Amino acid sequence: MSRPNVLQARQALELWGGWLDMWNKDPAVALDIIDDDYALHIPDMTSTIDPGTVRRPADMKNWVTGFTDKFEGLTYSTLMGPIMEPEQALFGFRWEGRGTWTGATGWPLDRPGEPVLFVGVDIFRVRGDRIAEAWSQGAVTRTL
């Protein structure tokens, strides 16, 4: 029997599935999985956005849309996880994203038509049945 306020593996997997759906299929999924008082943490040196501007589900939806629209066929998948700290309502996954550059990012490696590979780790804190906080570390590893 589960204890109240302790994150269960099934909940972590469901939220991660929603997170992947948000990035891969429909950014509007953010409205279902992101808490109304959301905090996003991204390293300043590599950030594609000021994380302080992403505070609500609609903000997350808009950021995901803006980012994914800069690539063709960008799809994220799970490499490892979940890693969990149930008592603190934390879980994380290692991921990769593959797609094609379109020239829309302005980044030095962005050569239209060339494949791209991102890898990273996302860690989440859950409040109730939604993601309340996310730490995301991702990087372009190379052009394939």
CATH number of the domain residue 52 falls in: 3.10.450.50
Q: What is the pLDDT of residues 83-141, one digit of tens each?
A: 999 999 999 999 999 999 999 998 888 999 999 999 999 999 999 999 999 999 988 88
Query: Does residue 24 register a pLDDT over 90?
Result: yes
Cβ-contact 93, 78 below 8 angstroms? yes
The residue range of the domain holding 126 is 9-143
Q: Which two three-digit tokens encode residue 57?
A: 């589900």
Give me the number of domains the chain comprises. Answer: 1
Give domain status of residue 2, yes or no. no
3-state secondary structure labels for all residues of 22-71: HHHCCHHHHHHHEEEEEEEECCHHHCCCCHHHCCCHHHHHHHHHHHHCCE
When comparing pLDDT for 97 and 142, which is higher?
97
Give domain status of residue 4, yes or no. no
